[in-house]
Chain A
């Protein structure tokens, strides 16, 4: 059983307003250039549904390492090969969020390049989550969503004003 129907690009082009209306309601349309030897497909899907899939399926798993000599903290996200550091947990989280925003911008600008790198091609869904956020506090909250110590650090920072 295949519930998903494919449309050629020329048919999709003619029917595009209807496809967009259907996508907004939750129906996915897959388009494909049947004349090309390149068989890649493109899905037209509601942005809300797409972001819901990313938010549920690509949660960050930060790891905190406190320096044994007490000089600070390193927070890393192994799945993205990225880290941040600082004298306090909050400053390390802030640094990580800054690095993540910078990486997301670079990645989405040069996506053709990054998608060819074996150990970075799977970073896209995580960075797409970051790309929709508008400020660093939101990025910190997303990093901390599965980590109570980091959530507490953000809370302490907001209480200090």
Chain B
């Protein structure tokens, strides 16, 4: 099943993981387990779809197994990781 994410989705995931907006594209930070994560988000507006290849990389960079795992985190607001 293909998963589609928007810029707003990725920003919300990054914020929930404790990442900070460091500069124009870079977000990074340390989560509650002490792991450091860093990703890059082109902010062209919250509703803009993310390229599939970019979403895959963002998932890896934020410690998710794959897009499905990141999507599950997005829709399950109680999930910690």
Do A76 and B26 contact each other (CB < 8 Å), given the known contacts A67-B52, A71-B51, A117-B36? Answer: no
Per-residue CB contact flags for chain B residues 38-81 toward chain A (1 = under 8 Å, else 0) read 10101000000101111011101100000000000000000000
Whether the Cβ atoms of A83 and B54 lie closer than 8 Å is: yes
Q: Tell which of A65, A78, A120 touches B53, judged by Cβ atoms closer than 8 Å.
A: A65
**Which A residues, 54 to 84, have Cβ-Cβ distances below 8 Å to chain B?**
65-69, 71-74, 76, 78, 81-84
A-B contact pairs, 13 of them (CB 8 A): A65-B52, A73-B53, A74-B51, A74-B54, A74-B57, A82-B40, A83-B53, A83-B57, A83-B58, A85-B53, A95-B42, A99-B40, A102-B26
Residue pairs across A and B with CB atoms within 8 Å: the count is 49
Q: How many residues of A contact B (CB 8 A)?
A: 22
Whether B54 pairs with A102 at a CB distance below 8 angstroms is no
- Rounded to whole Å, the gap between the CB of A68 and the closest CB of chain B is 6
Which residues from chain A sit less than 8 Å from chain B, CB to CB? 65-69, 71-74, 76, 78, 81-85, 95, 99, 102-103, 117, 120
Interface residues on B, range: 10 to 19
Kindly state whether residue B23 has any CB partner on chain A within 8 Å.
Answer: yes
B49: chain A residues at CB < 8 Å are 71
A81 to B61, Cβ gap below 8 A?
yes
A65-B56 contact given A117-B36, A120-B36, CB 8 Å threshold:
yes
